[in-house]
Amino acid sequence: MFCFLHMEKAGGTTMHAILRNNFPTYVSLAARFSWGDRYEDYFTPRAARRMFSLIPGPAGFGGHYVAPWLDYETEIAREITYFTFLRDPIKRYRSQYEHRIYTDGLSWTSDKFMSTESYNNFMTYRLTGGQNLERAKEILDEKFSFAGMMEKYDESLLILRHLLKKPSMRLVYEKRNITKRKKEHVYDWDIDRAKENNRLDLELYDHAKKNLFDPLITVYPGDLDAETIALRQEREQGKSFSPIKDELLLSNNRYIQRKLEKWASRR
């Protein structure tokens, strides 16, 4: 069983689509009443036990509300392979701001965004539930089998397929959840302030790349460069998952979650 920690603005929506289309019993978690719609209300081990006791042989689960510092393994009595995708912290930070103004429609200045502490060091926060860099490194090193890099997305997918021991896993994809920028909108961006606000994430990213990502490149059993080129060629030829099929898979996933949560909440 695997667990995917969906890090905001790091290719997670695309990853969900890949997982859904390869693993019919994969559960991409949505915010529901059983664990809340705020980051303080995580998908708890108790909620996991209730849900997965009703799903025969789930391939895995993932989403924003996964809490990797909690003990899912003991509660659901299964071994779990944890993985996530990270992104250059400054690019991820800026992308999150642009998502808030262009997609969510908030009329925030960059100063207001940068003054909101909950967005600072967001990858460290998502790994630990707080601003503890050493704990984030520890969780990555001890619990995670893989941390992909958005800047090396195709290479990361090939390595992940190998780690999951699924050679038939299809990796063609279309990018999802891309923020559409408005050309007429101009805003100031203080790069020095962005770096200061994300100094923990910058160190975390370097640590993950050095200790989790780069070593797996050196031991990859195939020709990673050649396979990466082949994967990109497939994508350029329009070979991807059917968007209609994916929408049906997502709708079915959400429907089953709602039904299971309602039943589990009465138990």
Residues 6+ apart with CB under 8 A from 92: 7, 8, 9, 10, 86, 122, 123, 150, 201
- Residue 71's domain comprises 2-265
Q: How far apart are the first and last CA of the chain?
A: 24
Nearest residue to 213 via CA among 128, 152, 161 = 152
What is the model's pLDDT at position 235? 83
Q: How confident is the model at residue 36 (pLDDT cuts 50, 70, 90)?
A: very low
Nearest residue to 131 via CA among 123, 142, 143, 140 = 123
Structure tokens belonging to residue 183: 């050309």
Pair type for strands 26-28 and 81-86: unpaired
DSSP string, 27-60: EE---BTTTBSSTTS-B-HHHHHHHHTSSSS--E
Calpha distance 14→97 (Å, rounded): 19
Q: 104 by DSSP, 3-state: which?
A: coil
| Domain count for the chain | 1
Structure tokens belonging to residue 91: 């690019």
Which tops the pLDDT comparison, 58 or 85?
Answer: 85
| Residue 133 belongs to domain with CATH number | 3.40.50
Structure tokens belonging to residue 127: 């790994």
CA angle 251, 258, 3 (to 5 degrees): 75
Position 86 pLDDT exceeds 90: yes
Which tops the pLDDT comparison, 100 or 262?
Answer: 100
pLDDT tens for 178-237 read: 566 656 566 788 999 999 999 999 999 999 999 999 999 999 999 999 999 999 998 887
Contact by Cβ (8 Å): 66, 43: yes
